[in-house]
Structures are given as structure tokens and as C-alpha cells.
Structure 1
């Protein structure tokens, strides 16, 4: 992989918390509880499985009662959600990964432990859905697993009705990812961590693999330009 930890380190910097995402409305505790109620009612007595395709693979923040490889057909990963907080700023926006329609997405499903189901589900919803505007991007998807087809909950699954995402060219995507960093780390770090964990699961996403090479080249070019500027200033 060309996007090495050394290159990722070049994208990291200390960034202050500038508050909520501009233009979005923070979700209230009552709205979180309402969304959890809806999910639990929809699931009924069946186990709740969560389809993880990005950061939830390497940082679920709950102890799964079960874990299986899974494929969601009709969806694919895409850095298509523009952000100005967490791993980006208003001065240097970045991109977050979402599911877009078409293709296939290989990932894993994680089962919420029955004894902690509501508590873990509430914590997960509160982590993933911080704004009222993105509630529509929580949905159930059908996934194929070694044990058959399962219904799984997933987050940031884009719909045309939501209108929150806009897929870009890989070159434009790479430029945004290479430059963006916020209080939660950099977009390049997020991309690197996702690919590493996908590889650990035996998953190779061709689009992400191509993207990391472009991001690595962009970071290298930025670093080279900065060194040249520093030398020029020192000589002047």
C-alpha cells in the first residue's frame, strides 16, 4: 500500500473543536430515543445485526455477540459526504464514507448482545447520528453471509431523497482526503485504517485501493512543495 503510516502522519495536526457541522441541527436525546424505539420495534424479537463497512469494522465501540463476513448487493462504499468537522474544518473540508447505490460492498456484520441490546444500540445511534438532518441515512439492508441472508442495520446509506451526498471524481476525492484534518484525525488516516482492517478481514476494495494510491501521491506532492518553500524562505 502506497498510503503508508509515514505519509498519514504528515496529514495529522492539532485542530480545535469548532462545534457542530455547519448547517446541520444537532439531534436531541429524545430524538435518539425515538430512533432507537423505531429500530427495536422494527427488529422485534430478532437479533439486531449491524453492517459494518468502514470505521465500525475497526472501532465498533461495543462488544459484539457475533461477527460474520457479509456482502451487501446493490451498494458500494464511496467517499461522497462532504464534512467540515471531526476529520475536517470549514477552511479545509473533507469527505466521509457512505454507502451509495450500485455494485456490491463486502464488510462484516456485528450482532448486538441481547442483554445489552438497547444500551449498545442507543450508544451506537448517538455516535453515528449526531444530527437530525441525517436520520434518513439509517436503514436496513439485506446482506449475504456464510449462514444465509440476514437483515442488518447500517448507517450512512445514501438515498436520492436525502440529497446529502455527491460522488466526485477520484482525483477530486483524493485532493480533499489528502488535505483534510480535524479534531478527530485526518481523512487520510480514516482511509488508511479502513483499508488495513478490510485487509485483515480478507477484503480488498478495488476503489479504495486505487484511491489510496492517489491520496499517497497527493500527500507526497504537498510535502515536497512545503519543503521547497521552506528552503526558499531559509535561503532568502
Structure 2
């Protein structure tokens, strides 16, 4: 929290589906983390038997993740945190952290951020992009097809003017893989 305000850093589905009221949105950068399909999804975009992949923030010195800082309206802080904890901490693969994010053209604010625990069984940080594409093209979970999650996130990044080469490559490759299956 900054000056009593609750900010949340969005880098994946929170970009297009925050699920809570947002008073302000600003492009923001989180240093020493990168957006990566490094978490097996056994709930939302896959199952225990056929895991999908979801994005997570993976720590790596010298990297940066551009996303959105979402400011929560005053008075909604407790409900928003309760909602986010239910949604994001479903399997304890993420840790909830307060991190400094730099607003575009502005100051740094402290934001609630969900970072992958590299010691958790769902962590899969070393998967090559081609393997990620194969999983994303075929997996389905409680919130729908894995490729839909990728497409919606990538589309939102494009709309915001945020460049992410790995996401661009995955979007193209998964579209190729699902085209023949009529899924995309």
C-alpha cells in the first residue's frame, strides 16, 4: 500500500479480468521479475490429469515485467484482498508480496503482487517455448481452454502497447497448432 492506497500489479489474467473494482489503471514496471508460463495449472486452465500452463512472475535479476498497476477504490481494500487471495492462492504456488512498481512517467508505488514459489510442485520454469505452446494448445480447465487465456492476455498486452516477444511467439505458434483442430 502507498499512502493508504491499495495497488495491485497485473501481468496476466488480471489485465483483462481483474474481478474487482478498479479506480485507476496505469502502465507499470516491476524490476527483477519476468512474465512467464512457468506454473502448471491444475484448476483454472488444466486439470491434475492434464495440467495447463498459466503465467506467473518469476524472479530473475536484471529482468523487468511491464503490466498494469490497478488502484483499488478507498474502502474496497479488504474485500479486494480477500477476493485476490481466494483466486490467486488457490494452491499456494504463488506468494503474496508487496513490491515496488514504477508507474509509467511517474513515481514508484507499493503494490500487491503474486510471485511464483520456485520450490512449489507446480513450478515449471525451464519449459522450452515449443513445449509451452504444445501444452497451451490442448489443455482445458475450470475457466476454459488454455489457449483462450493466452489469447486474451496477449490481446490485452497489445492493446496496452506492451511488447512481450515470448507472448507474441506463443500466440502465433498456438494459433498454428489449434488451427487444424478448429480450436482458435
TM range (shorter): 0.7 to 0.9
- TM-score (normalised: structure 2): 0.88
**Structure with the larger strand share:** 2
Aligned partners of 2:28 and 2:102 also within 8 Å? yes
Q: 1:66 to 1:122 in 2, by over 3 A?
A: same
1:10-49 to structure 2, matched below 5 A, reads 43=1, 46-49=4-7
Identify unmatched segments of 5+ residues in structure 1. Answer: 1-42, 225-236
Q: 1:212 aligns with which of 164, 171, 174?
A: 171
Q: Which consecutive segments of 4 or more residues in structure 1 shift more than 6 A?
A: none
Deviates more, 1:115-124 or 1:180-189: 115-124
Q: Is the 8 A contact 2:26 2:70 kept in 1?
A: yes
- Number of residue pairs the alignment of both structures matches: 178
Q: What SS does the aligned partner of 1:147 have? A: coil
Identify unmatched segments of 5+ residues in structure 2. none
Q: 1:90 to 1:162 in 2, by over 3 A?
A: closer
Distance (whole Å) between structure 2 residues aligned to residue 148 and residue 213 of structure 1: 35
SS of the counterpart of 1:70? strand
Instruction: Within 5 Å, give how 1:1-236 maps onto structure 2.
Output: 43=1, 46-102=4-60, 103-131=63-91, 133-134=92-93, 137-145=95-103, 146-155=105-114, 157-162=115-120, 164-167=122-125, 168-221=127-180, 223=181
- Structure 2 counterpart SS, 1:56: helix
The CA distance in 2 between the partners of 1:61 and 1:160, in whole Å, is 26
C-alpha distance in 1 between matches for 2:142 and 2:65: 29
Q: 1:44 to 1:200 in 2, by over 3 A?
A: closer
Aligned residue for 1:115, secondary structure, equals coil
Q: TM-score, normalised by structure 1?
A: 0.69
